[in-house]
Structure 1
Amino acid sequence: MSSKADLKNTLMAALAKPAAPSSDFDLNPDVALPEGRKLRPAAVLLAFEPTVDGGRLWLTKRSSALKHHPGQIAAPGGKKDDTDADLVATALREAREEIGLPSDHLEILGALPPHETVTGFAMTPIVGLLHQGFTPRPEAGEVAEVFHVPFAHVTDPALFMIQGRRWRGSYRKYFAVPYGPYYIWGATARVLRGLAERMG
């Protein structure tokens, strides 16, 4: 894969395949979720950029000072505001705010199925393709670092592993796909695992 067209075609083919919604509880079927729970809408942006060696995905490392998910790896995103026209608008706004990505620098290709988080959000991953580069500007106080991961790393199911830790008094399993010093796990890894499953 060496061009924007190749990367776009690969992503579009993956998005066209059927897929079910995912959840932070997928690997923990013993967790009892309340019936009738209301999830708050949210969106994240999976911003892929073509490169000569096959493309890359932009991610963030959250500030260690944040109340929720401090220091974790995430795609730029957040909860839907009343002023957002739709979830695409949410993802684009959050990417502008968190990493300084201009909305007119990318083409929206589609969305992955929503993902239920342990924090009560229905998080929809919006997939976009950059058609020009940008200079990341981490949002002070929220984003500690902006970095990229090779496309091949986050779209190869064989690189994902199941790990676990104690959480709220019980042992919780989750997907992880570490890359160098970055420990990509939880909702971000589960969403990327869903995309990886649709490759090929």
Structure 2
Amino acid sequence: MPQASDPRHLLKAALSRDSAASSDFDLNPDVVLPKGRKLRPAGVLVPIEIKAGIPQVILTKRSSHLKHHPGQIAFPGGKQDEADADVIAAALREAREEIGLPSENVEVLGTLPTHETVTSFLVTPVLGLVRDTFDVIPEPGEVEEVFTVPLSHVTDPARFSVQSRRWQGQRRHYYTVPFGPYYIWGATARILRGFAERVAGQ
């Protein structure tokens, strides 16, 4: 992807393209999902900021002490609460709580297709541009680290690979898009893979 100080055109073009919803089961067609399962709405923010003229995606590393997904790489976000107007509001609130990103400092460009997780969440990724620099404040006990990855890295389909591991007695396949010491995989990588396909016009 060409580097640009203002990635709005590229991002809006990607948002205008059609693509299907995704899930943690895309690469595991043999998984039998329970009938009547209820999915809880959630929102994650895909925050893009400009550093030295290069668009970067802000990601978090979850605390290793958490019960669910300890140590994994994730977007700031979480389930929609009753007080949230919608999943976009939930994503903005969670980003404020998890990394100290003020909601008014985010220009929401749109949403990507939903993603269903193995934990029964229906996640809506919210694409947002960070207007100005801000003081990153990781949420104590929840976020171990906040870091950035070049947008060009996670929107290049060639950088993704499919790997697998044993999970609940079965072999589970998933996307990965490693960056330096960060092993980006699972739902985060699947959402980014779908985004990369849109950016590439596939």
TM-score range, shorter chain: over 0.9
- 2-side partners of 1:75 and 1:26: how far apart? 20
- 1-side partners of 2:127 and 2:39: how far apart? 21
- 2-side partners of 1:27 and 1:156: how far apart? 19
Return structure 1 stretches of 4+ with deviation > 3 angstroms.
Answer: none
Q: TM-score, normalization: structure 1?
A: 0.97
Match of 2:8 in 1: 8
**Cα deviation digits, residues 97-149 of structure 1 (max 9, x gap):** 00000111110000011100000100110000111111210000000000000
Match of 1:182 in 2: 182
- 1-side partners of 2:89 and 2:171: how far apart? 36
**Cα deviation digits, residues 80-107 of structure 1 (max 9, x gap):** 0000001110000000000000111110
- 2-side partners of 1:199 and 1:86: how far apart? 26
Question: Where does structure 1 lack aligned partners over 5 or more consecutive residues?
Answer: none
Structure 1 residue 52: deviation in Å?
Answer: 3.7
Q: TM-score, normalization: structure 2?
A: 0.96
Match of 1:65 in 2: 65
Measured on the aligned residues, the alpha-carbon RMSD in Å equals: 0.9
Structure 1 residue 36: deviation in Å?
Answer: 2.4
Aligned ranges 1:23-62 → 2 under 5 Å: 23-62=23-62
SS at match of 1:55: strand
- 2-side partners of 1:155 and 1:101: how far apart? 23
- 1-side partners of 2:165 and 2:34: how far apart? 23
User: Quick check: 1:84 aligned with 2:84?
Assistant: yes
**Cα deviation digits, residues 146-184 of structure 1 (max 9, x gap):** 000001110000000000100000000000000001000
Check conservation: 1:40, 1:79, Cα contact below 8 A.
yes
Q: What percent of counterpart residues are identical?
A: 63
SS at match of 2:127: strand
Structure 1 residue 199: deviation in Å?
Answer: 1.2
Check conservation: 1:62, 1:145, Cα contact below 8 A.
yes
| Number of residue equivalences | 198
- 1-side partners of 2:120 and 2:42: how far apart? 10
Match of 1:114 in 2: 114
